[in-house]
Homo-oligomer: A and B are copies of this chain.
Amino acid sequence: MKYLTAAAATAIDVQLMDPARGGFALSQLMELAGLSVAECAYKLLTGSQRQQQRQQQRQQVLVVCGPGNNGGDGLVAARHLHHFGVDVRVVLPKPAVREPFVSLVVQVAALGIPVAATLPSANEMRSHVGLVVDAVFGFSFAGNVREPYAAILSQLKVVEKEVSILSVDVPSGWHVEQGNVSGAGLEPTALISLTGPKECARFFTGRHFLGGRFVPPQIQRDFGVEIAEYVGAEQSVELFV
């Protein structure tokens, strides 16, 4: 499998949004990326009989959204999960102050999805949360985790062996290429890579999905992104390698 560096992932986004090449608006890409995250989360929630039983007790999905595009994907995913009939809540540690995030929060609020600045307690998460969607940091994350996100990741780490976590594109706190080098990053149950797996996915051993079914063949060729075998009209696919 081909893995992308942070620079390659950035370059793909630039080409996708180049008016003469990909021609995409950010809002389109984020809509499709977020929808693929929601579909993947839905598969994890309803995928097996055992999970269906567990879901009856712990139905809530908690979407934890960071300050950048990864958080935007999370806000889109929360909206779609609501339409799928899932009891979804959003944790947004810092209020949205710019577009498209301000509008994405309006869209979430219009559905009556609760938005909080802080996580529920560890015990509340253990008893009520069936899945955490980790949309805190994506492929543009670098350096150290700052507050309020450091505290959020610490709180999630307390329950990460008891509550399923689906990380969006990159497990939050991981170095995009070198993995969980600090040890402070999340160890999620599942990962959904968007457009293509980042280098850090080499170090991930859980269930691995791909989303972002919109990359034109020329961009796939230029960056060596492999074409995944999506099924029918689905927007996410599990990778087995």
Taking Cβ atoms with an 8 Å cutoff, the residues of A that contact B are 19-25, 27-28, 31-32, 35, 38-39, 42-43, 46, 79-80, 83-84, 100, 103-107, 109-112, 213-214, 216-219, 230, 232-235
B110 touches A42 (CB 8 A): no
B83 touches A217 (CB 8 A): no
Q: How far is the CA of A110 from the CA of B16 in the complex (A)?
A: 10
Contacting residues, chain B, for A218 (C-beta < 8 A): 110
Among A23, A46, A79, A111, chain B packs the most CB atoms within 10 A around the CB of A23
The number of times this chain is found in the oligomer is 2
Asked if A217 meets B112 with Cβ closer than 8 Å, knowing A38-B233, A42-B232, the reply is yes
A84 touches B42 (CB 8 A): no
Among A79, A110, A234, chain B packs the most CB atoms within 10 A around the CB of A110
Contact of A46 among B42, B46, B232 (CB under 8 A): B232
B103 touches A19 (CB 8 A): yes
Residue of chain B at shortest CB distance from A29:
B31
A25 touches B27 (CB 8 A): yes
Q: How far is the CA of A149 from the CA of B230 in the complex (A)?
A: 36
Contacting residues, chain B, for A22 (C-beta < 8 A): 106-107, 110
Asked if A233 meets B27 with Cβ closer than 8 Å, knowing A110-B22, A214-B83, the reply is no
B25 touches A111 (CB 8 A): no
Contacting residues, chain B, for A217 (C-beta < 8 A): 111-112
Contacting residues, chain B, for A32 (C-beta < 8 A): 31, 35
Q: How far is the CA of A60 from the CA of B27 in the complex (A)?
A: 30
Residue of chain B at shortest CB distance from A22:
B110
Among A38, A42, A214, chain B packs the most CB atoms within 10 A around the CB of A214
Contacting residues, chain B, for A235 (C-beta < 8 A): 233
Contacting residues, chain B, for A46 (C-beta < 8 A): 232
